Amino acid sequence: MPEPASSSGLLVLLGRRIYGVAEKLVSETQLTSVGLLCALVMLLTTSGFLYSLVEPRRLAKHIVLEKEIPSARERREYFFSQPRDLLIKGYQRFREEMWGIESSAGVRLQLPIRFLDELKSHSALSFEKFISSVGMLDYTGVGALSDDAVHKFKSKFNPTVGAYVTELHDIVKVQMDKLFHKHEDWTEVNINDGIMEIVSILSARVFTGTEASQNVEWLELGPGYVTNVLVYIEALKRWPKVLRPLVMFFLPQRQLILRQWQQAKEFLASTIAKHKLQQQQINDSPSLMDYFINDDRINLEDMVRLQMAIVVAGIHTTSASLTQLLYDLAAYPEGIPELREEIKHVYEENGRAFNKKALSELKKLDSWMKESQRFPTFQHLAVDSLTLSNGLYIPRGTKMELPTTAIQVDDRLYEKPQVFDGLRFYEGRHKEGSENKHLYISTGKLDLAWGYGRHVCPGRFIADVEIKLVMAEFLLRFYIRNPAGQPRHPDLEFESNLLPDPTKTVTLKLAKQH
């Protein structure tokens, strides 16, 4: 069956491993004193914590598996370790109704797809606040991009994406030589770090500038910061909100995060100063950051926040999608010759180079990318109360989601949804009137991987370029397949996150030189 790529994925990236580390960290601190526990019990009963557990529960007409698994704790554990199975069970049973999943953060409301249109741009719902709440912005500095930043991203940066193709292709070629050895015979390789490194360099180039993309410390800082933040969040989450401002001082991750934040500030301060000086002479395409450096409303702290938001929103998502696609190709290698043929043809026809138009001609690759990328999206927080068209009142603070993972395998919407079919969307485009439909970057009710409505992912155009360049170069150089006898690598599942397992390997062999 097709394996979904990672979730929109914004924060919980290292799954169980991090959860385990966090558990250890908390248990090693001195916080479990009787005094604190008593305070905790009192505060739980007087704070809004109980409300958040009870209120969404009342709204959900059904709680999935409530009858089958009587213990709420066990239901939460089920969701923690087998979210996809639970989402599919709930969706198949309650498809048209509002239903709930019990999670460590209370009940998460699952929306039927029919509410999508009325909610897609609703002013009472916020994607930014959802991410800020998941990322514990006040403690970690990690949140979403502000509306203003997203506006600049769409209006200034996105129209220039085509101008990066040649430069990014050169980076991919150099990095591919460095990171993936030219094995003459089939050799088992872990591709995760290599893919993450290439994506980090490409992202640093387009979002921060050429110098950043060549600075090893900077390249490690963003992903390192996010990893520490994840552990810090898991540790903080074990305490009720009102105690967290006190508890944080005892958590070892905090010092690390403060130090990394300071390093990021210093690096950006010097980079911004250089960019300002050279602004008249910059020959290559500006980075996203260049559109912000002359804005007086944005200070250095905002710049660090912006860069960290980009790391969270852009690097892990893109590298997870690439890894998932390579895992799919390794599991279904019979599709590779056709893809390689297409890539070679387009490359040769275009004078042995790629540009934006050439990338758009990689139609079979585009279809494989789309088939490989299925994951949950549309997660929003009600920042104000609202009433749905069916009269249901949603109070402020409710987390609402669309069970996309389950929708993507609904056989009323997709033919044989359980079968991985790399050319599914390529074939679909041959139907009359569908020539330009279901592209990798398309958005719509059947194209939910990038979200839907006002907050649909603005990074999809650059992600499309990066993924196509890396895949084209990879497939021109290598044959790939799974180690003998291994099926498609299963994902790591963790609440609503589905991630490629970074411990898995594939086997590679050098293809004939192109």
- Closest distance to ligand HEM from the beta carbon of 219 (Å): 16
- Closest distance to ligand HEM from the beta carbon of 368 (Å): 14
Name residues whose C-beta falls within 8 Å of residue 457's C-beta, 6 or more positions apart in sequence.
8, 313, 450, 451, 463
- Closest distance to ligand HEM from the beta carbon of 449 (Å): 6
- Closest distance to ligand HEM from the beta carbon of 372 (Å): 10
- Closest distance to ligand HEM from the beta carbon of 497 (Å): 12
Give the nearer residue to ligand HEM in terms of CB position, either 77 or 197. 197
Tokens of 243: 């105690």
Q: Cα dihedral angle (111, 113, 119, 120), rounded to 10 degrees?
A: 130
* Residue listed under structure tokens 């967290």: 244
Q: Name the pairing type of β-strands 399-402 and 497-499.
A: unpaired
Give the CA distances from residue 366 to residues 114, 206, 259, 418, 436, in Å, rounded to whole numbers and listed in that order: 28, 22, 41, 20, 12
- Closest distance to ligand HEM from the beta carbon of 207 (Å): 6
- Closest distance to ligand HEM from the beta carbon of 223 (Å): 14
CA distance 156 to 42: 51
Contact between 383 and 129 under an 8 Å Cβ cutoff? The reply is: yes
CA distance 176 to 257: 31
Strands (E), 319-434: 377-382, 386-387, 393-394, 399-402
Name residues whose C-beta falls within 8 Å of residue 492's C-beta, 6 or more positions apart in sequence.
15, 16, 498, 499, 500, 501
CA distance 87 to 278: 52
Give the nearer residue to ligand HEM in terms of CB position, either 203 or 507. 203
CA distance 336 to 330: 9
Q: Is 457 annotated as a binding residue?
A: yes
- Closest distance to ligand HEM from the beta carbon of 36 (Å): 37
Contact between 165 and 469 under an 8 Å Cβ cutoff? The reply is: yes
CA distance 113 to 232: 34
State phi, psi for 506 to the nearest 5 degrees.
-130, 170
DSSP state, residue 103: E
Residue 277 burial class via C-beta count within 10 angstroms: exposed 0-12, middle 13-18, buried 19 and up: exposed
Give the nearer residue to ligand HEM in terms of CB position, either 271 or 497. 497
- Closest distance to ligand HEM from the beta carbon of 399 (Å): 13
Contact between 326 and 340 under an 8 Å Cβ cutoff? The reply is: no
Give the binding site for ligand HEM (CB under 6 A): 8, 127-128, 144-145, 150, 310, 313-314, 317-318, 321, 377-378, 449-453, 455-459, 462-463
Give the nearer residue to ligand HEM in terms of CB position, either 77 or 447. 447
In a 3-state reduction of DSSP, which class is residue 447? strand
CA distance 374 to 377: 9
Q: Which residues pair with 103 in a beta bridge?
A: 106
- Closest distance to ligand HEM from the beta carbon of 364 (Å): 18
CA distance 229 to 256: 9
Strands (E), 131-238: 187-189
Annotated binding residues for heme: 457
